[in-house]
Amino acid sequence: MNEKIDNFTDLDAWKVGHEFVLDIYHLTKKFPKHETYGIVNQLRRSAVSITSNIAEGYSRYFFRDKIRFYYNARGSISESQNHILISRDVGYLDKDLANKLLLKTTKIKQILSGLIRSTENQI
């Protein structure tokens, strides 16, 4: 991460998170129509919340505010993981695909944890 960070879209956590959001939108198109306002909505909202909180945190002036939003993003990652597990267990996602998504959420969480540590060091 030696690149200059001029915008939240330059953050690796946001980049990987954005890929995850696109994956979720693509995959949930295949979920049953009766789940549109159920698990599809919940999974999409929690995935979008990851990158939204990263973006909002990046734009906050005070480091403690930044960290609070980054922690909110971590919470949304866990929520997304829960929705993925439910989707797998009810048969909407096969085990391999669910595992790939869970690995991506783990990667986002690791990158985000580094961003949090880096921001905490600036306080």
Q: Per the domain annotation, does 106 fall within a domain? A: yes
**Mean predicted confidence (pLDDT) in 29-41:** 97
Report the number of distinct structural domains present in the chain.
1
pTM of the prediction?
A: 0.94
Specify if 12 maps to a domain.
no
Q: Tens digits of per-residue pLDDT, 72-114?
A: 999 999 999 999 999 999 999 999 999 999 999 999 999 999 9
Give the structural domain span for 32.
24-120
- 44 burial type by CB count under 10 A (0-12 exposed, 13-18 middle, 19+ buried): middle
Instruction: Report how far residue 104's alpha carbon sits from residue 22's, in angstroms, rounded to the nearest whole number.
Output: 12
CATH number at residue 87: 1.20.1440.60
